[in-house]
């Protein structure tokens, strides 16, 4: 660069630090903390290449994550272009990510006012059409007939 000022480039660690502010849109945890950031390369021309590992190749939020990474990296001095490459996590990486996500979800869980004497019964089956709802309603009616306060939550956790 004859006669021009030398370009100040971010170091890979500067890029990693900036990406700590990018959170997974679903888990609300930094992609760096979740282990989604795999690699960072900075070329002499200012092109920053970032490798991101997604939980699954067809992640529905991949575009949003890519855009957030590109936007954040572009704010760094000396960056001329941002390339984001995505890959799929291994089973071990997904397990580690879920451990971190569960820990963070537990930290953010709201306080409840459910008394310690409350009991929760789960009626479950891995198959549909076996009478879970009928058993649930009949059990709830029998407990209510005994004077207990009863609530029912029907949630499809398999589908």
Q: Is 47 exposed, middle or buried (0-12, 13-18, 19+ CB in 10 A)?
A: middle
pLDDT at residue 67, as a whole number: 96
Helix (H, G, I), strand (E, B) or coil at 152: coil
Q: How many CB atoms within 10 Å of residue 146?
A: 7
Q: Are 93 and 81 in contact (CB under 8 A)?
A: no
- What span, in angstroms and rounded, lies between the C-alpha atoms of 38 and 52? 6
Q: What is the pLDDT of residue 1?
A: 47
Task: Tell me the per-residue pLDDT of 81-114, one tens digit each, with 9 for 90 and over.
Answer: 999 999 999 999 999 999 998 898 888 888 888 8
pLDDT at 128: 80
**pTM score of the predicted model:** 0.66
* Structure tokens belonging to residue 30: 């930094």
Residue 46: pLDDT above 80? yes
Q: Does residue 4 have a pLDDT over 60? A: no
């Amino acid at each position: 660069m004859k006669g021009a000022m030398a370009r100040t480039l971010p170091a890979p660690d500067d890029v990693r630090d900036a990406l700590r502010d990018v959170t997974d849109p679903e888990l609300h945890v930094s992609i760096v903390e979740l282990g989604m950031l795999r690699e960072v390369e900075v070329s002499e021309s200012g092109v920053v290449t970032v490798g991101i590992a997604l939980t699954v190749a067809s992640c529905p939020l991949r575009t949003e994550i890519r855009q957030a990474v590109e936007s954040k990296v572009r704010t760094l001095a000396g960056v001329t272009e941002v390339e984001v490459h995505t890959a799929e996590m291994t089973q071990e990486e997904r397990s580690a990510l879920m451990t971190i996500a569960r820990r963070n979800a537990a930290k953010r869980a709201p306080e409840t006012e459910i008394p310690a004497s409350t009991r929760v019964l789960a009626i479950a089956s891995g198959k549909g059409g076996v009478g879970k709802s009928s058993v649930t309603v009949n059990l709830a009616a029998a407990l209510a007939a005994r004077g207990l306060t009863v609530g029912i939550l029907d949630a499809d956790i398999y589908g």
